[in-house]
Structure 1
Amino acid sequence: MQRIKSMFTLAVLGMCILGLSTASLAADKFEKEVEKEKGAVKLIREVQRGGYDIITAAELKNLIDSGQDILVVDTMPYKAYKKIHVPGAKQFLFPIPEMGAWDTKETDGKSKKDYEALLGADKHKTIIIYCGFVKCTRSHNGAVWAKTLGYKNVFRFSGGIFAWQGAKYPTEKIK
């Protein structure tokens, strides 16, 4: 009888622990949703302010595979770009904080003219700008400045190199 009582007590205790951990997981699920919402709203507001469009990893891969004449710009520091980047991407550093005025200290000493030279003369060319991941705003700065310089077809690849790698797409590096 004592053994049955002990087993019953253990079973009830186990169910209580399981119930508490499930409630804890549910709370985490809701808290995680708040974080997702913050990130999504931040991205949407950046896109609205910047006047550019966004593109997914799959859409960018399709554009590259189509052979369409596009320019892909990696806004990460050169050291990161050297290690891994989207095939064919060109590197141009932009800072993480929003850059309202051009600051050569934040662009590795490069000027607006340097950026415009990289982007090219065709203001209607499709330009895709990326950085590391969704929260990274280097690509936002790059896209805003492309629009400011008069380029019409500017896209931000918000998932960046992390999403590209997550999709298992090919990458390049500089030796």
Structure 2
Amino acid sequence: MAFRFFLALVMAAALLAANVAGSYAKDMFEEEVDKEAVSVKLAREAVAGGYPLVTVDELKKMVDEKKPMLIVDTMPYEASFKKEHIPGALSFEFPIEPLAQWDPAKTGGKSQADFEKLLGPDKGKLIVFYCGFVKCTRSHNGAIWAKKLGYTNVVRLPGGIYAWKGAKFPAEEVK
């Protein structure tokens, strides 16, 4: 008898938990509003920045074909790049908030000259910027600044390292 009471109590608690969780979950229509907001924000950034977007599958194909390019990870070195990054990527930190004026305090202590040195003298070379995930805007700042400095073949990988790993592509770490 005690076992049945205990089992009934556990089932009631499970049903209550499922009902409470369900009341906080968004339905498919509310989720679509969120997706739309993120998508439109990303599209507006790309249009304003004057650069195209690339998917992880497209970037992986370019990497596999050994297409000449520079891949720049814009996440903080210690907290992110050192732990995992797209193979062959170089690190140059950018802030999440818009960077209208260059500020070394917001770029990991690095100057605009440091950034130009990383990018190199070939203004037509393919440069791919990425950060953590679609909502992250560090890669947007990197792409914008490369364009401001006259680089013409700049693209952004909006899904960043999360999408790269989500596609089950290998990541590197600094040893």
Category of TM-score, reference length = shorter chain: 0.7 to 0.9
Q: Which residue is 1:67 aligned to?
A: 66
Q: Which residue is 1:56 aligned to?
A: 55
Q: Give, in whole Å, the separation in 1 of the partners of 2:141 and 2:95.
A: 7
Q: Which residue is 1:3 aligned to?
A: none
* Deviation at residue 27 of structure 1 after TM alignment: 6.2
Task: Give the direction of change, closer, same or farther, for the CA distance of 1:89–1:27 in structure 2 (3 Å limit).
Answer: closer
- Equivalent pairs, count: 155
* Deviation at residue 67 of structure 1 after TM alignment: 1.0
Q: Which residue is 1:28 aligned to?
A: 27
Q: CA RMSD in A?
A: 1.8
Q: Which residue is 1:97 aligned to?
A: 97
Q: Which residue is 1:171 aligned to?
A: 171
Q: Which residue is 2:138 aligned to?
A: 138
- Aligned structure 1 segments of 4 or more residues deviating by more than 6 angstroms: 23-27
* SS of match in other structure, 2:98: coil
* Identity over aligned pairs, percent: 57
Q: Give, in whole Å, the separation in 2 of the partners of 1:130 and 1:41.
A: 18
* SS of match in other structure, 1:129: strand
Q: Which residue is 1:39 aligned to?
A: 38
TM-score, normalising length: structure 2: 0.85
TM-score, normalising length: structure 1: 0.85
Unaligned runs of 5+ residues in structure 1 are 1-19
Q: Which residue is 1:109 aligned to?
A: 109
Task: Give the direction of change, closer, same or farther, for the CA distance of 1:94–1:25 in structure 2 (3 Å limit).
Answer: closer
Greater radius of gyration (CA)? 1
AA partner of residue 41 (structure 1): V
AA partner of residue 166 (structure 1): G
Counterparts of 1:143-158 in structure 2 under 5 Å? 143-158=143-158
* Deviation at residue 152 of structure 1 after TM alignment: 0.4
